[in-house]
């Protein structure tokens, strides 16, 4: 691919990003780094897990170096030894460098020295901005996507506006997004706890078919199993009028196989065994179960 200015921004930023990660004491083993791509998204695959905080710290450093407007220079050396003598902090990829061949050293201010053949900007202010776009951890590796220039500015604006819109809809201050999410999560946990408490009381006080319209029955499976274990003499039936779950404690006398046979004659095609019945139901089947349960 042709090495255009947008690619040069991204690529030069990548030099500083690698340095900024290294500066934090990370012995970075980059498996692969792509910057000159059609989509202008840089990708670095690192053979270890890099903590989120360290990546964000490096991002901050790169943007500080962009603002410092460091001058980028290139100098050719006869071989790697010569290049290293002049630049003791030289970064290079041993696997990809022929030590006997000419080496071009790219220097960014006094910050980074790297052996590289690609196109770079002349001074770091040309990069405008650098942003990490996505971080994925897969199989002990870290994949980091990053962008620069206009792409970074537009990305940050988009994220900012998405947060702003959510904040307006839900009445929170955008800067406090993580606090808001934390409170929401706590609220959800509280609601789920209450929900289970109510279900438990309902089961304890009610031996008839329990109808909970528009509620996903499957999310209560754990609770229902627990109830039947601690109430071995009971049999419980719960439906949302679309799905039914019947469970039987080990000391309960109800014959679920017999009930299952009757339901089959009404078109029930779910699973039936000695200790449980599960499956789709219609109004007729619900009515029949209700009758059976009352009997």
Interface residues with Zn ion (CB under 5 A)? 116, 118
Q: How far is residue 215's CA from residue 241's CA, in Å, rounded to a whole number?
A: 10
Contact 235, 252 (CB under 8 A): yes
Minimum CB–partner distance for residue 110 and Zn ion (Å): 17
**Closest separation in Å from C-beta 119 to Zn ion:** 8
Rounded to an integer, what distance in angstroms lies between the CA atom of residue 36 and that of residue 7?
5
Shortest distance (Å) from residue 47 CB to Zn ion: 20
How far is residue 284 CA from its own chain's centroid? 44
Residue number of the CB closest to Zn ion reads: 116
In this complex, which beta carbon is closest to Zn ion, that of residue 3 or of residue 223?
Answer: 3
Q: For Zn ion, give the closer residue by CB, 80 or 281.
A: 80
Interatomic CA distance for residues 26 and 284, integer angstroms: 66
- Tell me which residue of 111, 112, 28, 19 sits closest to 58, measured CA to CA: 19
What secondary structure letter does DSSP report for 144? Answer: E
Cβ closer to Zn ion: 116 or 199?
116
Angstrom distance (rounded) from CA 132 to CA 130:
7
Nearer to Zn ion, 119 or 248 (CB): 119
- In the complex, minimum distance from the CB of residue 6 to Zn ion, in angstroms, rounded to a whole number: 15
d(CA 246, CA 276) in angstroms, rounded, equals: 5
Cβ proximity to Zn ion, 36 vs 180, nearer residue: 36
* Minimum distance of Zn ion from residue 33's CB (angstroms): 9
């Amino acid at each position: 691919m042709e090495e255009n200015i947008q690619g040069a921004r991204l690529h030069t930023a990548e030099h500083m990003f690698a340095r900024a990660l290294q500066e934090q004491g990370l012995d970075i083993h980059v498996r692969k780094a792509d910057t000159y791509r059609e989509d202008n998204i840089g990708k670095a695959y690192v053979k270890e897990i890099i903590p989120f905080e360290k990546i964000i710290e490096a991002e901050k450093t790169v943007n500080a170096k962009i603002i410092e407007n460091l001058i980028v220079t290139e100098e050719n050396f006869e071989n790697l030894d010569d290049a290293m003598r002049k630049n003791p902090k030289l970064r290079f990829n041993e696997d990809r460098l022929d030590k006997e061949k000419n080496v071009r050293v790219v220097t960014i201010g006094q910050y980074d020295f790297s052996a590289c053949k690609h196109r770079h900007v002349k001074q770091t202010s040309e990069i405008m901005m650098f942003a990490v776009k996505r971080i994925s951890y897969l199989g002990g590796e870290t994949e980091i996507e990053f962008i620069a220039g206009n792409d970074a500015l537009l990305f940050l604006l988009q994220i900012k506006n998405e947060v702003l819109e959510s904040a307006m809809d839900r009445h929170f201050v955008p800067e406090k997004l993580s606090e808001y999410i934390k409170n929401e999560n706590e609220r959800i946990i509280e609601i789920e706890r209450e929900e289970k408490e109510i279900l438990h009381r309902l089961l304890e006080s009610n031996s008839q078919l329990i109808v909970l319209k528009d509620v996903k029955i499957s999310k209560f499976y754990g609770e229902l199993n627990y109830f039947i274990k601690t109430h071995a003499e009971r049999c419980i039936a719960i439906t949302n009028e679309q799905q039914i779950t019947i469970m039987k404690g080990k000391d309960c006398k109800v014959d679920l196989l017999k009930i299952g046979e009757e339901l089959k004659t009404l078109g029930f095609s779910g699973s039936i065994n000695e200790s449980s019945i599960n499956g789709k139901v219609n109004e007729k089947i619900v009515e029949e179960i209700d009758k059976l349960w009352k009997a």
